[in-house]
Structure 1
Amino acid sequence: MILRSLSFSALVLAFLTLCSAHRIEIDPGGKECFFETLQPQDRMTVTYEVGGSTGGGHLDIDFFVTEPSGDTIYTSFKEPQGTFSLAADRSGKYTYCFSNEMSSYSRKVLSFNVHGVLYVGDDEHIAPVEQEIRDLSSGLQLVKDEQAYLVVRERVHRNTAESTNSRVKWWAIVQTIILFSLCAWNVHYLKSWFEVKRVL
């Protein structure tokens, strides 16, 4: 009975969706590449979003994917966010890269998730319980992806609000300084009109 439970648990782990979430910073003119080793019919999905930029740059990034032979199978230029999915047709390392080479002064803060499903046999021979586990795992992954997306959006909106607040504060300070300077100049100018000058 214990052996059967262990083998079932191992099978369940094989069916569960593999997922990893990352947050990286890419320097101006830089590029970051990662890879996943897949077997035929394995599935992989990469979702990403630019969550911040230093130096006033745009919230965008270049993204491309290459297959084991080195051929580029997907490219996306200057997008703030994106999703790419593939079903592997050959075994090997599938490489995906995020490039900030088009920017010469702004560093990009990027959040991305990688998740996939390992192929195990024919779906017709999967037990109902195992199929339910697959469905639950897929649903859980969708919830996690949505939560990660909301976290990134909240960070972007918070950074925008803080930047706007800072600009409004400094503009108000500058206006106050200008106002007091004009008042002081007006008082001085008007006083000069009413000064009694001695005639020697």
Structure 2
Amino acid sequence: MFRLRPLFVLPFLAFLLSTTAHRIEIDPGGKECYFENLQPQDRMTVTYEVGGSSGGHLDIDFYVVEPRGEVVYTNFKEPQGTFSLTAEVAGRYTYCFSNEMSTYARKVLSFNVHGVLYVGDDEHIAPVESEIRDLSSGLQMVKDEQAYLVVRERVHRNTAESTNSRVKWWAIVQTVILFSVCAWNVHYLKSWFEVKRVL
């Protein structure tokens, strides 16, 4: 019977699946670029979502450049997105988030990067290693979904608070207008009757 050794599993999981999560702010007219060094058959996935903006729309430009300098993916003015890539050549793969289309709004962006390193032909790996790969992939999907839900909750909370603030101030303005109109009506009617008495 094959016994699974923890000393084998932990390094393999660390090697198989690497994940990073980031939250950044991008100034108006600016962009942020990052890169990953990949070998042929390595897989990389980037998921992102704009979680806040100092005015304007919740959108961002996203593009990926391969080591030869060719743009392999673009996604313009979208609030969120997912991109997966299997490397064909070894080298530095650059992905950028651009806020250059905005002249005044700063964007708050959350993004996750994860990848699976190519470790050989799937037919020649042990069943335990295959199960570990599946488990790692499922775990990553759960983490990505959780990160997505956190960002969505933040966006909806900010929207609800903004709406609540606008409704409050609109109610205050309406109340002030109502009392002002009532005061003016009372004053006008009072002055009208005073004029009538004098006549």
Query: Could you tell me which amino acid in structure 2 is paired with residue 28 of structure 1?
Result: P
Contact 2:28 2:105 (C-alpha < 8 Å) held by counterparts: yes
Aligned length: 194
Point out where structure 2 has 5 or more consecutive residues left out of the alignment. none
Amino-acid identity (%)? 80
- Note if contact 1:12-1:130 (Cα within 8 Å) is conserved in structure 2: no
8 Å contact from structure 1 (residues 14, 120) kept in 2: no
Runs of 4+ in structure 1 deviating by more than 6 angstroms, as ranges, are: 196-199
Q: Which residue of 2 aligns with 1:181?
A: 180
Q: Could you tell me how far 1:7 is from its partner in structure 2?
A: 4.9
- SS of the aligned residue for 2:136 comes to helix
The DSSP-based 3-state class of the residue aligned with 1:58 is: coil
Aligned residue in 1 for 2:103 = 104
Q: Does 1:51 align with 2:51?
A: yes
Q: Return 188-197 or 23-32, whichever deviates more.
A: 188-197
TM-score normalized with structure 1 length: 0.91
Show CA shifts across 1:80-139 (max 9, x none). Answer: 111111111111110000000001111111111100001112211111111111100000
1:20 aligns with 2:20: yes
CA RMSD of aligned residues (A): 1.7
Number of the residue aligned with 2:67: 68
Cα gap change, 1:9/1:81 in structure 2, threshold over 3 Å: closer, same or farther?
Answer: closer
Question: Residues 8 and 146 of structure 1: is their aligned pair in 2 closer, same or farther, counting only changes over 3 Å?
Answer: closer
Q: CA deviation at 1:51?
A: 1.0
Please give the residue correspondences for 1:4-43 in structure 2 after superposition, counting only pairs within 5 Å. Answer: 6-7=7-8, 9-15=10-16, 17-43=17-43
TM-score by length of 2: 0.92
Where does structure 1 lack aligned partners over 5 or more consecutive residues? Answer: none
User: 2:135 — aligned with what?
Assistant: 136
Are the equivalent residues in 1 in contact too, given 2:13–2:136 (CA < 8 A)? no
